[in-house]
Structure 1
Amino acid sequence: MSDHVARYREQSSVTAVHPYEAELDNLPRTVSELVDKVDGLIIHFETDKAALDEQILLKRRHEVDSRFASTMLHRIFSLDSSPLGEPRPVERRLLGTCRDTAVMLCSFMRHQGIPARVRFGFAHMLYQQANPLHNHAVVEYWNGNEWLLAESRMPYVRGSDTPFSPDDLPRAQFMVGAEAWRQLRNGERSAQTFSGHRLGEHPSAWLVRSFALYDLASLAGYEPLMWDQWGRHYNFCRPRRAFNDGELLDLLDQAITTDCRIDTQCEQLVERFRQVTGIADGTEIHSFSPVLGRYSIKA
């Protein structure tokens, strides 16, 4: 295992689980089983809302801004003190997003010494080609020989047109942010296809750029919420404006030509990201939450 790969065994400030390390020790050791355990802890506040009482959604929607794995675990145990390996009834699962299930799975894997990183991008809903594309997050992990993708949400595994194991999501099913940017930049897809035609051209293109940057931030060691902005992303990249930031454009174009499964290429891209618009200790992050509204925190 190279030093570059080994770095992804370390918890980030987002995936760190202190003071709950002991509670993770008894979790299963296989990736597929870990996905199943995550499924019993977190439920999507939007796509799974039909399974939830409206009052739960109304009173507890703030849970989607938990951000940190430790915060999520605190809330999970406050809702149900059972061991993590025991699935909760849906009404006692944390309300979250695919980003949160991916962060939790990544955290569990890193706790076991498995190199893992959250990847941000786009996929067809439930991996059904007839469904529109939407923003999504999965986990990429090192199996000892290569980087594989893991789907952290069992409903996506069960609902796919093409059956797959949760520990081996076919790469053709998930498009990392840089690939979405490449397809948009080359005119292979219109911007609106990435938002399911729910947004206009500029906001849809902004969504693609944002998820390409979220993916780079995660590779660099900080897993953002899906409504965060910071640095040049916040100052020069606006949803309803034409994109004219040359440095960000160069960074995104470098991401297009980078294969992050190759150590040296990934390291070079991460270093460039840090120079242009990286997240470090003390970086001001502006969050535009669909629940809490706008607020700012320090990374």
Structure 2
Amino acid sequence: MRETLRMNFDRYRRPIAMSDPGRHAALFDGLPRDTGALAETVQGLLIHQHVAPAYGVTLSRDQQAQSHVRDVEKILGDIVTRDGRPLSAARATNERQVGVCRHFTLLHVAMLRTQGIPARARCGFGAYFEKGKYLDHWVTEYWNEGKKCWVLFDSQIDNRQRELFRIGFDTADVPRDQFVVAGDAWSLCRCGRTDPSAFGILDMHGLWFIAGNLVRDVAALNNREMLPWDVWGAMRRQDSELDLAFFDRLAIVSLEPDAHVDELSALYCDERVSVPGTVFNAELNCLQEL
């Protein structure tokens, strides 16, 4: 088990692909060496597209388009183009880079990895936004050396959102029943313990939606943290079109990725999971090359 953990640490200890700051790597120099302080740094740089009104901000069309930026290098480039100060300087709320939960998570993961802290983005569902609902959401999962375990951290939730959503737990250590990774959501629904209609976002709910997030989570565990509305491979819009046995296996592997290191990599070689060169952006209703 120790060797398996070491292998997975190596997978998540350094920025790679979308989490790689690239030519902007020096911007991470001098950032605080603390998971909570790094989350506060992220919160001072980004604003959530759909929570902006809670800060008194009305986003322009150009600002809303920023939520389609996929990689950290481009996110950082946009931030410093508008404001060249160090990342530790919080931007005014109406001047922050616009994104969604996935962007907060990916930037937090990139900062942690730059400091050698194993971290990965997890796709699933938050139970703390709307009573009785599990809403589409992403959080950071990082290795807590003191506790010797992986811990969930919601880097999006600042004091304003804590008040807005009436969150009573520590978002630096999110309980597993408050953020349900996609594989757990799938398993809970498949065994009849939870209603699939409780999982989703807006008017999109059901087993098919959970399946889509399960593919996104497995991709993220392979360091391909896609947009929440990117569609490819095994994702479908009808429950009847799902290969249930295939998703059952994805759920098992994603729930214990450190116990299935080889299979996690093998699954990403399957065209139903691997991210192709072109994906369908469901929000913009178009194909996009990566």
What range is the shorter-chain TM-score in? 0.7 to 0.9
CA distance in 1, matches of 2:128, 2:60: 22
Matched, 1:272 2:275: no
SS at match of 2:19: coil
What's the counterpart of residue 233 of structure 2?
Answer: 231
Matches within 5 A, 1:271-290: 271-279=266-274, 283-289=277-283
1:48, CA displacement in angstroms?
Answer: 2.6
* Aligned-partner SS, 1:19: helix
Q: Secondary structure, in 3 states, of the residue corresponding to 1:152?
A: coil
Deviations, residues 64-118 of structure 1 (Å, cap 9, x unaligned): 0011111111111122222100111101101110000000000111111111100
In structure 2, the gaps of 5 or more residues are none
Tell me the CA shift for residue 157 of structure 1. Answer: 4.9
Identity of aligned residues (%): 25
Equivalence for 1:153: 156
Query: What's the offset of the Cα at 1:293?
Result: 3.7
Q: Could you tell me whether the CA contact under 8 Å between 2:121 and 2:140 is conserved in 1? A: yes
2:184 counterpart SS class:
helix
TM-score normalised by structure 2 residue count: 0.88
Contact 1:122 1:134 in 2 (8 A): yes
- Judge conservation of contact 2:183–2:254 (CA < 8 Å) in 1: no
Matched position secondary structure for 2:126: strand
Tell me whether 176-185 or 249-258 shows the greater mean CA deviation.
249-258
CA 1:48–1:272 in structure 2 vs 1: closer, same or farther (change >3 Å)? same
Q: Is the 8 A contact 1:8 1:117 kept in 2?
A: yes
Counting only pairs closer than 5 Å after superposition, residues 96-175 of structure 1 correspond to structure 2 as 96-126=99-129, 130=131, 132-144=133-145, 145-155=148-158, 157=162, 159-164=165-170, 166-175=171-180
Structure 1, unaligned stretches of length 5 or more? none
One-letter code aligned to 2:185 = A
Taking only aligned residues, the RMSD between alpha carbons, in angstroms, comes to: 2.3
Of 185, 188, 192, the residue aligned with 1:183 is: 188
Identify the match of residue 60 of structure 2 among 40, 46, 57. Answer: 57
TM-score calculated relative to the size of structure 1 = 0.85
What SS does structure 2 have at the residue aligned with 1:257?
Answer: helix
Q: C-alpha displacement at 1:192, in angstroms?
A: 1.9
Provide the residue aligned with 1:17 in structure 2.
21
**Which amino acid in structure 1 is aligned with residue 281 of structure 2?**
S
The 3-state SS of whatever aligns with 2:139 is strand
| Deviation of 1:252 (Å) | 1.6
Q: Distance in 2 between matches of 1:82 and 1:102?
A: 22
Q: How many residues align?
A: 281
1:288 to partner: Cα distance: 1.7
In 2, Cα distance between equivalents of 1:102 and 1:173: 16
Amino acid at match of 1:163: F
